[in-house]
Structure 1
């Protein structure tokens, strides 16, 4: 099923992880993809798409820089005739420092990329998507933005902002037929989290990865990308202003003593 045939799509942070997985899937379903990233991974993703028979253009951008975001959208318009979907996925972690060890420069940079970036994506993509009769904007937030315990103060605050931004944007785009939703990944094996996965495997504790969620495992980027594609597709034509957690069930509960399947809780 080619849900994105001849549709023009921009994916930020597409050089690796969830962004790369989404760009590959968009292209596999007929989409024409602008692969945007600040690293050479953008070129690698575009090459993978081309090798699979898809259509892509790579561009190096800083997703938190207004001129760069405008350039990526302009490339979509010039190369593919317009814009139908924006997947504002780029983000940085900002480390794991607590509030008292986080300096202003760090939190400012995290907010610039993780929150200002999606803001710029909405601001500059929405008018062009509306021109085409409507479409979708998907923002990558995080379960860390839903409640505490899944990220640093800087990262968590930035992702909480993305969640609210999706709701506000959906309202302010009333009548445009442009939908805006936020995707909230749980622990996913990407470049950002790779050290966690690698360490667990090296010390023989891979079974502890994701142990706090009911599925008791981490996610692969493709699992998140498939949900992003759903939100961007006509299958989600009545889904707007929503926050979709894709976290193995982690955010379905406050921390409790887990009841083992088939056993009585102690």
Structure 2
């Protein structure tokens, strides 16, 4: 019970990695606030309660400062403070290339994927520090490491998250608040489900993830377990790091080249 009695916030908890993490945190004794912009937050909180855990649902936008401030205040009020926040909420931004990416699209992707984690750190870190320390975990991506794993908007946002974890770890020096990021590879979530469903229907599921040495995509709980490790005292000396969980993809990041003005084949 690594999180017994601890107050934990998970954003993007309505599905995928966030839901898996919220369930795992609660299973290990955490008192969870499951936050999401969708009604999935309610379903996640209900599942935790049905299993005998402690949870609250919060409906809000992870990229809106007012919502984030209310979220962490709720956790502090109802659970006596805040020990951990897992800033996991994110959006894909589609597959448009650099020259077809609309400014409104990249602005929205950055708002949710990068400003969201920034707001989580800004509002959660003082509360965590006031408890004597704890952990902040951010969801980045292998797409933030180098080209070949996501659209320009998504990749830029996740590269920002990796740097944000490093900067925040430094600026929280002496607070005993650790900040780390996870970098998932291909994972079956709501964001990627159409791809997985299509592959299943076409009998080509074995082709997903074929570029990584494990030759498969990940399941959400495989990422959630790494996030939970980083949030726990087991990772007490891990700080300012981006932990890659991608089946080995980024050991080479193989990708089909796309020439300027031409379509990749």
TM over 0.5: yes
Over residues 138-196 of structure 1, what are the superposed CA-to-partner deviations in whole Å (9 max), with x where a residue is unaligned?
00000000011111000000000000000000000000000000100000000000011
Q: List, as ranges, runs of 4+ consecutive aligned residues in structure 1 with deviation greater than 4 Å.
A: none
1:56 equivalent to 2:55? Answer yes
CA distance in 2, matches of 1:71, 1:246: 31
Q: Establish whether residue 186 from structure 1 lines up as the match of residue 185 from structure 2.
A: yes
CA distance in 1, matches of 2:215, 2:145: 20
Q: Which residue does 2:262 correspond to in 1?
A: none
Which residue does 1:115 correspond to in 2? 114
- The 3-state SS of whatever aligns with 2:8 is strand
Report SS of the residue matched to 2:238: coil
Gaps of 5+ in 1: 257-266
CA contact (8 A) 2:178 2:239 kept: yes
Distance 1:38 1:255 in 2: 34
Deviations 1:98-123 (A, max 9, x none): 01111110000000000000000000
Unaligned runs of 5+ residues in structure 2 are 256-265
Please tell me whether the aligned partners of residues 148 and 254 of structure 2 are also in contact (alpha carbons under 8 angstroms).
Answer: no
Q: In the alignment, which residue of structure 1 is the partner of 2:123? A: 124
Give the structure 1 partner of residue 152 of structure 2: 153
Task: For residue 25 of structure 2, give the secondary structure of its aligned residue in structure 1.
Answer: helix
Structure 1 match to 2:207: 208
CA deviation string 1:194-251 (max 9, x = no partner): 0110011111101101000000000000000000000000000000000100000000
| Secondary structure of 1:9's aligned partner | strand
Whether the 8 Å contact between 2:16 and 2:188 is mirrored in structure 1 is yes
Question: 1:7-156 counterparts in 2 under 5 A?
Answer: 7-156=6-155
Q: Specify the alignment match of 2:258 in structure 1.
A: none
> In the alignment, is residue 247 of structure 1 matched against residue 243 of structure 2?
no
- TM-score normalised to structure 1 length: 0.95
Shift of 1:255: 2.5
For the aligned residue pairs, the C-alpha RMSD in angstroms reads 1.0
SS of structure 2 residue aligned to 1:165: helix
Q: Distance in 2 between matches of 1:35 and 1:29?
A: 15
